[in-house]
Amino acid sequence: MADVMNVTGNFTNGSENFYDKLNTQSAGWVAIVICSICFGTNLIPVKKFKMGDGMAFQWLMCTGILFVGVVVQLAIGSAYRIPKFHPLAMLGGALWATGNSMTVVIIEAIGLALGILIWSIANMLMGFFSSRFGFGILIPKEPKNPTLNYIGVAIAVVSISLYAFIKPNTSEEKTEDNKEEDLEDCKKEEKSASLLKFANFSISQLPVRMKKFVGFFLAIIAGFFYGTNFMPVIYVQQQPGNSQAGLDYVFAHFLGIWLTSTIIFVIYALVKKNTPWLPSNQAILPSLLSGILWAIAQSSWFVANAALGEPVTFPVVATCPAVIATVISVVVFKEITASYHYGKKNYIILGCAICVTFVGIIINALSMIDFS
């Protein structure tokens, strides 16, 4: 009996030591770096594939997310302790999955760089309001310097308007493979047109101004859902006796994501009368990889939240990936260029927008310091 108690005690102490190490500031900032890189690159694997209306893609992506959730749960349960399952944490996953179902349409409307930039900033604003005021649900977290915090939020709003003036490329040269893929997609759409009239509809068919408006609007809505996806977990953590370790909620959160995306896809398939738009076979593994990268980032964000707190992590994590995605879009995909019509204006505005974004990040981080 004594041996059993000793083993159990060592098991518990090991678990506590593990979480103590994760809750240090150094671990929190390492988690933020991992988070920013993975969030900024998670859509790159599927960039070259035509994803149609995005419903199949979001389900495949969420399947990759669930895979990481299972791995995290098994790893923690095997090495330390079995985390308690909180069904309410699944609600946060449901919120995120709803926003995620809009991403492909957003990217098609305004491009990868602008899409990520806008929903990242909207995400930051919602994260700020939910943690700062609590919405009557959470215990409000007031920063040590509220004035700097408000200034940082105002700067984020200014940066959104700057991004709106960037003119992304609206067309790209297609390879022969892409042309063949487009022809196959057209045949699929023609086949389903007799079953459902709007099966042929694509956001690209809208006028340029309307397409841009829809893209910006959906990006802001997606950012709203992204910015509130931590609220259920934070609520659970604020209840007496519950774990403060972010990784304990990863599996429930990811399960909520997968279940919601599955429900969305089933409803979509029913509306399409069992003729859903499916991507090519070559896009399946990249879609799963996209989900795995996102899940690694989100798991790291849970760690960063526990170590540094949401008022610090939200401004950084919600904005830095946007800069990474923009640089990749400029260098690799040539999505934002100095075009004939706009000259170098695109680069100038983009440079200013990135600088303003970083200023906002720094000011929000400084708001946690008491200068009095």
Q: Per-residue confidence at 9, pLDDT binned at 50, 70, 90? A: very low
pLDDT at 44 over 60: yes
Q: Per-residue confidence at 194, pLDDT binned at 50, 70, 90? A: very low
Tell me which of 275 and 6 has the higher pLDDT.
275
Which of these ranges, 28-37, 313-322, 338-347, has the smallest mean pLDDT? 338-347
Report in angstroms the alpha-carbon separations of 30 from 19, 27, 278, 313: 15, 5, 37, 12
Q: What is the model's pLDDT at position 70?
A: 96
pLDDT at 312 over 60: yes
Assess contact for 120 and 318: CB atoms under 8 A: yes
Q: What is the model's pLDDT at position 7?
A: 40
Q: Per-residue confidence at 201, pLDDT binned at 50, 70, 90? A: low
Q: What is the model's pLDDT at position 354?
A: 84
Residues in the chain: 372
Tell me which of 118 and 38 has the higher pLDDT.
38
Assess contact for 267 and 58: CB atoms under 8 A: no
Q: What is the model's pLDDT at position 16?
A: 61
pLDDT above 70 covers a percentage of the chain that reads 80
At 118-172, the pLDDT tens digits run: 887 788 788 878 887 887 788 887 777 888 878 887 887 787 677 667 666 655 4
Q: Where are the domains of the chain?
A: 2-366
Going by C-beta distance under 8 Å and a sequence separation of 6 or more, which residues neighbour residue 369? 144, 145
Tell me which of 8 and 38 has the higher pLDDT.
38
At 221-249, the pLDDT tens digits run: 999 998 999 999 999 988 998 888 889 99
pLDDT at 188 over 50: no
- Give the span between the Cα atoms of 148 and 323, in whole angstroms: 22
Tell me which of 297 and 165 has the higher pLDDT.
297
For all residues of the chain together, what is the average pLDDT?
A: 79
Tell me which of 28 and 113 has the higher pLDDT.
28
Q: What is the model's pLDDT at position 189?
A: 43
Question: Once rounded to an integer, what is the mean pLDDT over residues 66-95?
Answer: 91
To which H or E segment does residue 228 belong? Answer: helix 208-228
Q: What is the model's pLDDT at position 285?
A: 94
- Give the span between the Cα atoms of 225 and 91, in whole angstroms: 11
At 261-277, the pLDDT tens digits run: 999 999 989 988 888 88
DSSP class per residue in 66-118? HHHHHHHHHHHHHHT-PPPP-TTHHHHHHHHHHHHTTHHHHHHHH-HHHHHHH
Assess contact for 323 and 111: CB atoms under 8 A: no
Question: Once rounded to an integer, what is the mean pLDDT over residues 68-72?
Answer: 95
Q: What's the CA dihedral at 208, 356, 217, 260 to 10 degrees?
A: 130
Q: What is the model's pLDDT at position 187?
A: 44
Q: What is the model's pLDDT at position 207?
A: 81
Q: What is the model's pLDDT at position 298?
A: 95
Question: Once rounded to an integer, what is the mean pLDDT over residues 102-127?
Answer: 80
Which of these ranges, 17-31, 264-278, 281-295, has the smallest mean pLDDT? 17-31
Going by C-beta distance under 8 Å and a sequence separation of 6 or more, which residues neighbour residue 206? 109, 214
